[in-house]
Amino acid sequence: MRRDGRLEEEPYFPTYEEVAAEVLESLERAGLVVQDVGHELEPSTGERTFQCAARLPGSEPPHRYLANIHFHWDALLTYVGTYGPGSECELYHDEGDECSHQHAHPAVELVGEYDLGDGGYPLRELGEVQAWIDTVEGLLSRSLPAQEGRVVRLGLTVKDGTVFVDRFAAEQVWYLDLSEPPDLDSICQTVQATLKVTPSLADRLPL
């Protein structure tokens, strides 16, 4: 018997509900308050999307510093989660034919997004942008040291000839290999550590 309750010879593959529940439980184990949990289902394809927001406890509303967590569960994952690992073979080839597609491990992208500043700030000069990004990268490296999948996003709008910063955000992507139980506790602890350093950006950015 495996630690997840499955028989030893049974290949591991979680359902959407299991992954979503584990994300929520791991966020709570990391000491975060979870809110705005949502599940979207596309009936014609079986594609599903999970999303929620997480924040540090004790903060007063309105909650400016949130981590928006989401992942997309495509139609093939729904199929395999329903009928079990190996069931996708019949979608690709006849029984007995050489099987090559199963060498690829099924995975989902778990995304954490953090708003770093309010929109509507007029951009005086382009050089400001690089200085902001350097500041953000320096602070986030405390909680996400040398990790791939982190990006900083800057949205700009133009109104009456003036360029405004519409959105300033950081994003981290984790690739969850579904052939083994994913380590969501360490991911959610990273989310908690990131939320702890995010407020310090308010003193470093004019946003």
What integer pLDDT is reported at residue 9 of this predicted model? 57
Span 137-152, pLDDT tens digits? 777 777 666 566 778 8
Q: What digits encode the pLDDT tens for the residues 68-97?
A: 999 999 888 887 767 655 555 555 555 555
Residue 192 backbone dihedrals phi, psi, to 5 degrees: -65, -40
Tens of pLDDT along 150-197? 788 877 788 887 887 777 888 889 999 888 888 999 999 999 988 888
For residue 9, give the nearest of 108, 77, 86, 94 by alpha carbon. 86
Per-residue model confidence (pLDDT) at position 108: 92
**H/E element, 138:** helix 127-140
Q: Are 110 and 69 in contact (CB under 8 A)?
A: yes
User: What is the pLDDT at residue 113?
Assistant: 93
Tell me if 204 sits within 8 A of 133, measured CB to CB: no
Could you state, in order of their start, the residue ranges of all structural domains in the chain?
Answer: 16-203
Give the model's confidence band at 107: pLDDT under 50 very low, under 70 low, under 90 confident, else very high.
Answer: confident
What share of the chain has pLDDT > 70, as a percent?
72
Q: In the block, which residue shows the tokens 């959105």?
A: 167
